[in-house]
Structure 1
Amino acid sequence: MELSDYIRILRKNWLVILLATILGIGVAAAYSYTRTPMYEASSTVFVSTQTSGTVQELQQGSSFTQSRMTTYANLVTTPVVMNPVIAELGLDTSASGLASVVSGTNTLNTQLITITVTDPDPVLAADVANALGASLTETVEKLETPADSTTSPVRLSRVRDALPPQTPASPNIPLNLALGGLVGLALGIGIAVLRSVLDTRIRTPRDIELVTDTPIIGAIAFDPKAKDRPLIVHDDPASPRAETFRALRTNLQFLDMGGRASFVITSSLPSEGKSTSTINLAIALADAGKRVALIDTDLRKPKVAEYLGIEGGAGLTDVLIGRAQVGDVMLPWGQRSMFVLPAGRIPPNPSELLGSQRMHDLLQSLEKEFDVVLCDAPPLLPVTDAAILAKATSGALVVVAAGRTNRHQLNGALDALSTVGAKVAGVVLSMVPTRGPDSYGYGYGYGYGYGYGHAVERGKAPNQAKTKAKKAAKNDEPRGARRRTSV
């Protein structure tokens, strides 16, 4: 993944990361405030030799004590030093129990031993540290006194007595909160990355590129009001979403399909927006002056007649079984050079009808009569209708719903087309978010709006362009207008 991918993951999962960070801080706070405060008191003992001779003797004495400093520091936690302290202070513990809260350390290259005691009671911690210093002094002098002498060559002196501390040494609340926040942040980022790795849903063009080298010829913006106005190019031609269909129209016209211009528009699964994409693309092509034939080849759940508001009782099925001529059931729509062939009645054998020679001949005759032929077909994974039909056309356009279709489903749909030898002309990414980390290429369109770009293209002011677009929409005939074609 590239840096932009990681940034997108962080933007997309910022709430998870924030909650994990807050949780980490909360756990650290709960731990810190439920711990018993512990106080540390320290006393310091200086170790020297009792010599009063030449410089050489003093150096030898200093080397002697340096070699013993570690041993003296370790004596602090031994029973011989601790038992007198326990007896003196009346502590309710053993030597091993007291040793767990006591430490003796020697700073490198010094003759100082620091005795540190940790206890919930700051006064007791200081008393124990001072008592241990005194006990260590007596013990060392006793151990270092030769058998034939009454004086020890080593002398320990307390140079700093322990005082009751004012603040606890632990828990260190600021440090714990910082560590908890860092752990929570790392956990949140880890969850975000893991979610991204395990999530195989297609959200951006980059996800499609991981599956296929087929060109992405369009990205249709998501519209929360799409159910209320499915024919966005007709209902609101000045909207940014309508402009995405015009961009799709432009890209489609640049495809090299060997002189043919018949396309099957399908998807991997239902509800990916293939029918509305097909109809809006047909309207956009007709607006550009193309003669467009729109055929509803979804003989299982036809939607074209419903969306366009036309009678769909007779249509493609009647033509394929020889009950009607195409010119009798193909209807014009609106003030455009766009003609619609509804699906007709749902047959018991849709796959056989779509793969028949009569269907093949129908497509050839429509390609001669129209500039572009668009076939709205069923999804590829549930049934084979679209794959069979795609082989008889110049290519298939596969609609992929962002955030719904996963890579395995898209790969299966493309395999279904390649198995029958059909050509995939391009992929159309639908329902693309216009804002957020998964948005793709709509900043310019939404910032300037279609009206401005349309006006610049025609050399008119923005308001004039919008007014003309609205008038054109009002002048369209009702959706149910019927007129026979010459086909």
Structure 2
Amino acid sequence: MELHDYIRILHKNWLIIVVTTVVAVAAATAYSLLAPPVYTANAKVFVSTSSVDSTADLASGNSFTQQRVHTYADLVKTAAVLQPTIDKLKLPLSVEQLRPAVSATAPLNTTVIDITVTYGDAVYATQLATGVAQQLATVVEKLETTNSVQGSPVRLKVVQEAEVPGAPSSPKKTLDVALGLLLGLAAGVGIALLRSTLDTRIHNEKDLERITDVPLLGGIVFDRNAKTRPLIIHADPHSPRAESFRTLRTNLQFLDVGRPERAFVITSAMPSEGKSTTVVNLAIALAETGTSVLLVDADLRRPRVEQYLGIEGGVGLTDVIIGRVTASDAIQRWGTTSLFVLASGPIPPNPSELLGSSTMSTLIGSLASEFDVVLFDAPPLLPVTDAAILARLVGGCVVVAASGKTRSTQLGAALDALVTVGAPQSGIVLTMLPTSGPDSYGYGRYGYGYSEPGATPQRGKAKR
């Protein structure tokens, strides 16, 4: 992914990042306010050897002390050191309870032991650090004494007694909040990237480019009132959604320019992706320019064109295929426009067979020669084979995909279904594009222009 892809992901998931960061900062703040304070006190013990008579003895004794000093540091957590300290301070603790609060380190190449005690009371922390240091010196002296007359050759001296800390070592409010902020941001960005990785839905042109080379013809912006006013070209001709269809109209005119017949199947991968509303509005947009347009409802399973256009659908395509009526008798004109409609007719038990018949092939050629543009509204590609069969006969196919809904695997399988039967893949239309945000659609976003409603009409073949 490129930089702008990451920016788009962060833009899309900004709310998650903000919420995660706020929660992390709130948790860190709550911890800082509610956690009991802990104080840290430090004491230092110097380790030396006695009976040094020469420079050689001095070097030998220093080497011996450095070797043993780490052993002495380990003795700090033993009961021999801790229990007498507890008894002296009269603390209500056991050795097991005190042991985690005490630690000792011996810096490299030194003979000094640093003793650290963390405790909930500053005074007790100070007394414990000093007491442990004093008791360690006593214990080591006893352990190293092998001759009662000469005494111990090793001496431990407390060179720095612990001082009462002026502020708790934990919690540190500023540091905790800063860490919460960084962790929250990191978690939010991580969640955003994970969501993007797991999201296989198609959102924009970039997503299409990753799965296919089929050109994008245009994008149709989302309209929450699409179900109540599907004919947006007719209901609100100056809305952004209406202009989206005019952009699609312009781009369709340059599609498959080498093919004399301007006939296209409009389908989708799955149901409810907006194919029927797209084909109806596209047909109206084409008719606006004076082009003679025939809209054929070839969805013989769930026809929608008659419902959207408000025409009678009792007689239609199925009647023409079986020879019950002629195409001229079944085709209806929509109002006073140059848009003509061939309804689906009665729903047959064998839609695939009818659409793939030789009669249908002959009918397609006849209609394509009589009208400037013929659009077929076909069922989705994945549930049934009707659209793939019809596209092979028509010679042009436009696949509709819904932004934020259609998955890349579904669109890929739909395009493969066309390839399997030898049907063309003319182009793709993205529907339900948001009007704001990183995936929003704007005129020219994909490099396409759009024609005005008053564009020069195309005068063509016979009008009915």
Structure 1 pair 98–269 and aligned structure 2 pair: CA distance change class (3 A): closer
Shift of 1:393: 0.7
Secondary structure in structure 2 of the residue aligned to 1:264: strand
TM-score, scaled to structure 2: 0.85
The residue type equivalent to 1:397 in the other structure is V
Tell me, in whole angstroms, the C-alpha distance in 2 between the residues paired with 1:254 and 1:486: 23
Tell me, in whole angstroms, the C-alpha distance in 1 between the residues paired with 2:306 and 2:347: 13
2:237 is the alignment partner of 1:237: yes
Secondary structure in structure 1 of the residue aligned to 2:393: coil
Deviations 1:384-417 (Å, cap 9, x if unpaired)? Answer: 3222222221211111111222223223322332
Match of 1:306 in 2: 307
Match of 2:458 in 1: none
Match of 1:351 in 2: 352
Q: 1:20-99 alignment to 2 at 5 Å?
A: 20-29=20-29, 35-47=35-47, 65-95=65-95, 97-99=97-99
The residue type equivalent to 1:433 in the other structure is P
The answer (yes or no) to whether the contact 2:52–2:61 under 8 Å persists in 1 is no
Structure 1 pair 287–58 and aligned structure 2 pair: CA distance change class (3 A): same
Deviations 1:407-448 (Å, cap 9, x if unpaired)? Answer: 232233223323332212111111111211322444879xxx
Tell me, in whole angstroms, the C-alpha distance in 2 between the residues paired with 1:31 and 1:398: 55
Tell me, in whole angstroms, the C-alpha distance in 2 between the residues paired with 1:53 and 1:349: 114
Tell me, in whole angstroms, the C-alpha distance in 1 between the residues paired with 2:145 and 2:395: 107
Tell me, in whole angstroms, the C-alpha distance in 1 between the residues paired with 2:104 and 2:53: 31
Tell me, in whole angstroms, the C-alpha distance in 2 between the residues paired with 1:293 and 1:63: 102
The answer (yes or no) to whether the contact 1:51–1:58 under 8 Å persists in 2 is no
Secondary structure in structure 1 of the residue aligned to 2:218: strand
Structure 1 pair 384–50 and aligned structure 2 pair: CA distance change class (3 A): closer
Match of 2:411 in 1: 410
Structure 2 stretches lacking a partner, 5+ long: 456-461
Deviations 1:138-187 (Å, cap 9, x if unpaired)? Answer: 44455566737557665544333223324322344444444444444433
Tell me, in whole angstroms, the C-alpha distance in 1 between the residues paired with 2:392 and 2:445: 38
Match of 2:2 in 1: 2
Match of 2:391 in 1: 390
Shift of 1:265: 0.8
Tell me, in whole angstroms, the C-alpha distance in 2 between the residues paired with 1:238 and 1:320: 39
Alignment identity in percent? Answer: 56
Structure 1 pair 305–157 and aligned structure 2 pair: CA distance change class (3 A): same
The residue type equivalent to 1:325 in the other structure is T
Q: 1:129-278 alignment to 2 at 5 Å?
A: 129-141=129-141, 147=147, 149=149, 155-256=155-256, 257-278=258-279
Deviations 1:79-112 (Å, cap 9, x if unpaired)? Answer: 4444433343334445555443222233345444
Structure 1 pair 76–334 and aligned structure 2 pair: CA distance change class (3 A): same
Q: 1:323-472 alignment to 2 at 5 Å?
A: 323-442=324-443, 454=452
Higher alpha-carbon deviation: 262-271 or 116-125: 116-125
The residue type equivalent to 2:222 in the other structure is F
The answer (yes or no) to whether the contact 1:214–1:425 under 8 Å persists in 2 is yes
Secondary structure in structure 2 of the residue aligned to 1:114: strand
The residue type equivalent to 1:424 in the other structure is Q
Tell me, in whole angstroms, the C-alpha distance in 2 between the residues paired with 1:16 and 1:65: 58
Structure 1 stretches lacking a partner, 5+ long: 455-464, 470-484
Structure 1 pair 327–145 and aligned structure 2 pair: CA distance change class (3 A): closer
The answer (yes or no) to whether the contact 1:273–1:399 under 8 Å persists in 2 is yes
The answer (yes or no) to whether the contact 1:48–1:62 under 8 Å persists in 2 is yes
The answer (yes or no) to whether the contact 2:402–2:430 under 8 Å persists in 1 is yes
Higher alpha-carbon deviation: 153-162 or 55-64: 55-64
Shift of 1:303: 2.2
Higher alpha-carbon deviation: 354-363 or 428-437: 354-363
Tell me, in whole angstroms, the C-alpha distance in 1 between the residues paired with 2:298 and 2:323: 16
Structure 1 pair 285–103 and aligned structure 2 pair: CA distance change class (3 A): same
Shift of 1:297: 1.7
The residue type equivalent to 2:106 in the other structure is N
Tell me, in whole angstroms, the C-alpha distance in 2 between the residues paired with 1:252 and 1:159: 90
Higher alpha-carbon deviation: 297-306 or 184-193: 184-193
Structure 1 pair 251–179 and aligned structure 2 pair: CA distance change class (3 A): same
Tell me, in whole angstroms, the C-alpha distance in 2 between the residues paired with 1:249 and 1:258: 17
Secondary structure in structure 2 of the residue aligned to 1:225: coil
Tell me, in whole angstroms, the C-alpha distance in 2 between the residues paired with 1:99 and 1:363: 90
Shift of 1:19: 2.9
Shift of 1:122: 2.1
Tell me, in whole angstroms, the C-alpha distance in 2 between the residues paired with 1:201 and 1:292: 33
Secondary structure in structure 2 of the residue aligned to 1:424: coil
Tell me, in whole angstroms, the C-alpha distance in 2 between the residues paired with 1:409 and 1:146: 85
Structure 1 pair 413–444 and aligned structure 2 pair: CA distance change class (3 A): closer
Higher alpha-carbon deviation: 135-144 or 316-325: 135-144
The answer (yes or no) to whether the contact 1:327–1:486 under 8 Å persists in 2 is no
Deviations 1:348-386 (Å, cap 9, x if unpaired)? Answer: 443333233332222212211222111112222233322
Shift of 1:28: 4.3
Structure 1 pair 366–168 and aligned structure 2 pair: CA distance change class (3 A): same
Report the count of equivalent residues. 456
The answer (yes or no) to whether the contact 2:338–2:463 under 8 Å persists in 1 is no
Structure 1 pair 158–148 and aligned structure 2 pair: CA distance change class (3 A): closer
The residue type equivalent to 2:293 in the other structure is V
Secondary structure in structure 1 of the residue aligned to 2:251: helix
Structure 1 pair 62–323 and aligned structure 2 pair: CA distance change class (3 A): closer
Match of 1:319 in 2: 320
Secondary structure in structure 2 of the residue aligned to 1:374: strand
The answer (yes or no) to whether the contact 1:51–1:61 under 8 Å persists in 2 is no
Secondary structure in structure 2 of the residue aligned to 1:220: strand
Match of 1:474 in 2: none
Higher alpha-carbon deviation: 424-433 or 16-25: 16-25
Deviations 1:263-286 (Å, cap 9, x if unpaired)? Answer: 111112222111221122122222
